[in-house]
């Protein structure tokens, strides 16, 4: 380890010694402006004085021997350049826009004449960045204020080619270039605002997904969406990189006061899955409305003009979801339930120019929020025990220093802190959660699956992430121009919280209802007896053989035996405290031997340590090479042909440290008889409480598991493996990416580009269990190991199995306690029987985490993304602008990534996908077979444009248009897991076996008109109209054949998703904005 650390530091030292100082992630919040000075004959003009003027004052340079100049560390905004040279007229170029993490380039032509003469030119474009192979989009405030987009930054993500819906990860977490929604990196003003536990944007909850973004459009200057071709200063993500830069002060005072109004009356009628014959209802979200007001002000501190600048913004917002419970449930008596969220978005920034060459900047922003009390988790309930209140939000702070040591040497450093917190407050913390699945047969009077009582699982958390960055960049001229870059990044995330379930904890019994000692028959370890566990339950119908199950009058079925199945319970510590260490060193050289060619080569070294409350693990020495080239055929920055190869490592969020490296001890699947009385006939009759459901009684007398006269099968599972080990040598997950394309600028600043992107997983990290589903159900002890999953993985002792006809005699070599007869699928079909020997081929216990020289039976994990993207862009000039793109893509494999859309699992790198090997009875269906993945969309097209009217009575009116059209996603045939019993796990007939959803799309319109109050004051009125043709296509299909193992889903292939099942219909937002 010490030698490898020394090698990394030696590489850094060599870069420093021979390359000189070198650009990193810190400079990503700034931009650059460069160009070349020519005379009218096309010859370069060295020695010209170049003066830059912009928001925070001016800078001056002298063009070099090749007529070139370059200004770095510029805040995004509009600049002008004045060029002077004796014997030439002064040339002034105005309206040059500088973007985040890009170098805008201009060509300045000097005409012969007196210096007193001035030639003014308005920039129609900023040229093509011929120094970078990165692909993506830079979206500024001038752009997004002119087109129809949502009020939060999330809507901007989807304007970039390569960005599609992430599905169940939520709109805030898109799929970028084939990655799942939890594989992106979100950075605002240099602060990593990615949730440290799951990888989502801002505050992310296991129950609710992304809640707070940490930043709002009112104080956003620019959003950059990188979809590929990243430089070595970027890492941690196998999806996309989203960078946000907040507004800065300037040497002129400016500000705005705005109000935005989107009442429910501005929305057309929605379509609801409940109206399409569903038996398992979800309720209806009738409308969503929102209101917000913002005030922003920026400028300079009096007496310190051109020295100290400030910008501040406050943006309180108020939103409501207007919901309706189905008429068959008790909550319907409340009528329309308005679930409210109040958020106070704020931001502030100070920029202090110590000298023309040194700047210190600090910014702070956040979005504390709270909700009303209501049914946020479910609308299908009879009582208010499902109610809760949520409190959440983020706070972020950064301080940075930028220094121009010499005209060719830049140094940057920053310290960042990001905090997010989430708190759930159930209104009935002492009531167990019971999900009723006794009425799922679709018979008259039945209500489907619903929450009978209780809130269930909740997880209040707090996260703090501290970061330090230092990077440097040096230009050297030798055999052309060399730009050397070197940087170091350190992050320390902390993630703490509690895992709770409503209802009191109860002691785990040793004996069942018929007095069987569960310890004696090896179904319970003695160490857990008497320990306190929490629990959530599912009320199920039992078979007629369950004589200990009390009878319950179930609508549509009459008096039938029922029992409570314990869905989940934990008897370990409820609190957790986890942390991580992440470090990266990165270096890059960009060499332009002449103006027609640039070659970029770089390397990134990364190391990550995950620390739980019990154990920790370090992924050491992970290397990510990057190499690319850019050809400028004419050397005029109007055309580029480029290619790039990059390897991107994925930094695993701390959910793994919470779940697998801390003390999570599970007591699952126990079957209980609810409270009952005995009638005169000796029948047990379930007691129905005031909530209209049964009462759990959690003691030996009511434990049915393994009891004679109880339910078929014991169902009990105990996990004593509170932590998971790592397979020796496990490295970070990574993808390899190849990009090739071209861009060409035409007259009027129109830029046309096309590119091909190819990505594939080179290595993944997942937890694995070395036994099959039938082995687990037969009683073979399952162990887990986190590993790089491949076909050749050998981490376990393979069990030795023997199949035989159901009802027959097991092989005498088998352990009599390791027999499964019969093996059944979810429909109850008898597939045969199997038994297992106690030891594996190496003489160790079957399933033990000990290699036996035989591959364990896993497949090669795969995810391949191929895409052709075409773009046409035009910066604002001559009253109009355009951003249009089209993507043709295919996403194929057997591993979706950090987020699973089939079962909705938000456990990066510890999903259930590889918990079992394939086995002999095909109980996992086509889970390991490659096919089209869940977020595969073959076609996506975007057109966003705006035009400002001039020379008419409506002069200054802005008309904007947004069009997005996309093809559908695959529809799978999914069955429940044969061991975990939960729905959505096992694809049958291949991925996408049931076709695709229909294409969908929307056309949106923006209009605003400014009234001139004075020379510098405007009162602007406007509106955004979304989905003007009121398309309401179905977006989601219920793909689950069963609600859980052996409980059929009568709504299979029907619409599903209370909010996301159909396109949102026409809705509108109006606004008024006073600018000064």
- pLDDT on residue 124: 57
The dihedral built from the CA positions of residue 540, 543, 544 and 548, taken in this order, carries a sign that is: negative
Query: Of 82, 75, 71, 80, which is closest to residue 33 (Cα–Cα)?
Result: 71
Three-class SS of residue 134? coil
Q: How is residue 249 annotated by DSSP? A: -
CA gap 280, 1074 in Å, rounded: 49
Asked whether the beta carbons of 108 and 35 are under 8 A apart, the reply is yes
pTM: 0.91
Residue 238 burial by CB count (10 A; 0-12/13-18/19+): exposed, middle or buried? buried
Asked whether the beta carbons of 1030 and 268 are under 8 A apart, the reply is yes
What is the C-alpha R_g of the chain? 31
CA gap 155, 167 in Å, rounded: 15
Q: Which domains does the chain have, with CATH numbers?
A: 17-132 (2.60.40.1120)
| β-strand partners of 961 | 945, 1005
- Beta-carbon contacts of 361 under 8 Å, excluding residues fewer than 6 positions away, are 248, 349, 350, 351, 352, 399, 400, 401, 402
Asked whether the beta carbons of 759 and 153 are under 8 A apart, the reply is no
Asked whether the beta carbons of 1051 and 1038 are under 8 A apart, the reply is yes
CA atoms within 13 A on the CB side of 82: 13
Alpha carbon 243 to chain centroid distance? Answer: 14
| pLDDT tens column, 650-693 | 999 999 999 999 877 889 889 999 999 999 999 999 999 999 99
CA gap 887, 957 in Å, rounded: 32
- pLDDT on residue 25: 44
- Low-confidence residues in the chain, pLDDT < 70: 1-28, 115-127, 214, 721-722
Asked whether the beta carbons of 907 and 659 are under 8 A apart, the reply is yes
């Amino acid at each position: 380890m010490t030698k490898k650390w020394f090698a990394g530091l030696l590489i850094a030292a060599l870069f420093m010694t021979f390359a000189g100082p070198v650009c990193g992630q810190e400079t990503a919040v700034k931009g650059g402006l460069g160009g070349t000075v020519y005379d009218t004959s096309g010859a370069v003009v060295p020695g010209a004085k170049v003066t830059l003027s912009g928001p925070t004052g001016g800078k001056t340079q002298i063009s070099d021997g090749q007529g070139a100049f370059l200004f770095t560390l510029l805040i995004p905004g509009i600049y002008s350049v004045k060029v002077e040279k004796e014997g030439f007229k002064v040339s002034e170029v105005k309206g040059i826009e500088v973007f985040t993490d890009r170098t805008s380039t201009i060509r300045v032509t000097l005409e012969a004449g007196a210096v007193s003469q001035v030639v003014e030119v308005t920039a129609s474009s900023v040229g093509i960045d011929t120094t970078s192979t990165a692909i993506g989009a830079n979206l500024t405030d001038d752009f997004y204020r002119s087109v129809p987009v949502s009020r939060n930054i999330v809507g901007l993500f989807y304007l970039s080619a390569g960005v599609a819906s992430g599905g169940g990860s939520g709109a805030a977490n898109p799929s970028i270039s084939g990655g799942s929604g939890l594989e992106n990196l979100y950075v605002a003003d240099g602060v990593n605002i990615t949730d440290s536990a799951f990888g989502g944007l801002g505050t992310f909850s296991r129950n609710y997904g992304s809640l707070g973004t940490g930043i709002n459009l009112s104080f956003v200057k620019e959003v950059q969406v990188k979809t590929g071709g990243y430089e070595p200063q970027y890492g941690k993500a196998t999806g996309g990189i989203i960078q946000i830069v907040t507004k800065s002060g300037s040497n002129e005072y400016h500000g705005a006061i705005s109000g935005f109004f989107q009442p429910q009356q501005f929305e057309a009628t929605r379509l609801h899955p409940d109206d399409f014959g569903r038996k398992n209802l979800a309720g209806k979200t009738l409308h969503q409305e929102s209101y917000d007001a913002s005030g922003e002000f920026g400028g300079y501190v009096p007496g310190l003009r051109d020295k100290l600048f400030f910008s501040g913004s406050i943006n309180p917002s108020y939103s409501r979801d207007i919901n309706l419970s189905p008429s068959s449930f008790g909550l319907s008596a409340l009528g329309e339930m308005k679930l409210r969220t109040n958020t106070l978005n704020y931001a502030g920034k100070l920029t202090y120019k110590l000298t023309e060459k040194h700047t210190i900047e600090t910014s702070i922003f956040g979005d504390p929020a709270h909700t009303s009390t209501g049914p946020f988790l479910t609308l299908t309930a009879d009582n208010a025990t499902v109610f809760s209140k949520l409190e959440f939000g983020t706070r972020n702070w950064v301080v940075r220093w930028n220094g121009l040591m010499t005209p060719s040497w830049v140094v940057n450093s920053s310290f960042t802190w990001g905090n997010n917190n989430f708190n759930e407050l159930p209104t009935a913390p002492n009531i167990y959660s019971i999900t009723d699945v006794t009425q799922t047969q679709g018979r008259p009077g039945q209500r489907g699956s619903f929450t009978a009582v209780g809130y269930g699982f909740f997880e209040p958390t707090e996260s703090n992430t501290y970061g330090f960055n230092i990077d440097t960049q040096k230009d050297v001229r030798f055999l052309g121009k060399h730009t050397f870059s070197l940087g170091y990044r350190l992050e320390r995330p902390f993630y703490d919280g509690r895992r709770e379930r409503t209802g009191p904890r109860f002691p785990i019994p040793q004996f069942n209802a018929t007095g069987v000692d569960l310890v004696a028959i090896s179904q319970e370890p003695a160490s857990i007896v008497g320990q306190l566990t929490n629990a959530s339950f599912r009320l199920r119908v039992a078979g007629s053989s369950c004589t200990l199950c009390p009878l319950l009058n179930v609508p549509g079925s009459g008096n039938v035996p029922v029992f409570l199945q314990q869905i989940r319970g934990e008897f370990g510590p409820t609190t957790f405290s986890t942390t991580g260490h992440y470090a990266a060193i990165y270096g890059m050289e960009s060499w332009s031997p002449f103006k027609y060619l640039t070659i970029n080569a770089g390397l990134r070294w990364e190391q990550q340590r995950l620390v739980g409350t019990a154990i920790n693990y370090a992924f050491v020495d992970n290397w990510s090479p990057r190499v690319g080239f850019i050809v400028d055929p004419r050397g005029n920055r109007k055309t580029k042909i480029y290619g790039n190869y990059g390897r991107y490592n994925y930094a695993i969020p701390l959910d793994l440290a919470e779940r697998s490296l801390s003390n999570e001890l599970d007591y699952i699947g126990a079957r209980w008889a609810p409270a009952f009385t005995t009638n005169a006939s000796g029948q047990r009759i379930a007691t129905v409480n005031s909530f209209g459901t049964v009462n759990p009684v959690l003691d030996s007398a009511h434990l049915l598991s393994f009891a004679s006269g109880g339910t078929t099968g014991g169902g009990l599972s105990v996990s004593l493996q509170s932590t998971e080990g790592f397979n020796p040598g496990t490295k970070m997950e990574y993808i390899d990416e190849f990009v090739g394309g071209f861009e060409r600028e035409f007259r009027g600043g129109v830029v046309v580009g096309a590119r091909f992107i190819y990505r594939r997983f080179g290595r993944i990290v997942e937890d694995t269990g070395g036994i099959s589903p039938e082995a687990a159900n037969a009683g073979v002890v399952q162990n887990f190991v986190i590993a790089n999953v491949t076909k050749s993985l050998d981490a376990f002792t393979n069990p030795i199995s023997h199949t035989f006809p159901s009802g027959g005699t097991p092989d005498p070599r088998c352990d009599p306690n390791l027999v499964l007869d019969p093996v059944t699928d979810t429909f109850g079909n008898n597939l045969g029987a199997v038994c297992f020997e106690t030891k594996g081929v190496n003489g160790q216990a079957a399933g033990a985490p000990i290699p036996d020289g035989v591959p364990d039976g896993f497949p090669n994990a795969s995810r391949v993304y191929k895409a052709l993207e075409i773009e046409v862009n035009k910066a604002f000039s001559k009253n109009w602008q355009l951003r249009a793109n089209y993507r043709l893509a295919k996403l194929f494999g057997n591993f979706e990534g950090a987020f699973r859309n089939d079962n909705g699992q938000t456990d990066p790198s510890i999903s259930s996908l590889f918990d079992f090997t394939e086995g002999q009875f095909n109980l996992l269906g086509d889970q390991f077979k490659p096919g089209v993945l869940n977020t595969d969309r073959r076609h996506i097209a975007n057109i966003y444009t705006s035009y400002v009217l001039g020379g008419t009575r409506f002069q200054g009116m802005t008309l904007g248009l947004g069009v997005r059209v996309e093809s559908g996603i695959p529809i799978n045939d999914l069955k429940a897991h044969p061991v975990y019993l939960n729905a959505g796990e096992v694809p049958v007939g291949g991925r996408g076996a049931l076709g695709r959803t229909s294409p969908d799309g929307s056309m949106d319109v923006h209009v605003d008109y400014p009234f001139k109050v004075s020379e510098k004051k405007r009162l602007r009125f406007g509106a955004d109209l979304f989905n003007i043709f009121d398309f309401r296509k179905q977006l989601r299909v219920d793909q689950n054949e069963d609600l859980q193992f052996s409980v059929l889903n009568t709504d299979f292939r029907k619409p599903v998703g209370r909010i996301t099942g159909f396109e949102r219909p026409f809705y509108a937002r109006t606004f008024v904005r006073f600018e000064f």
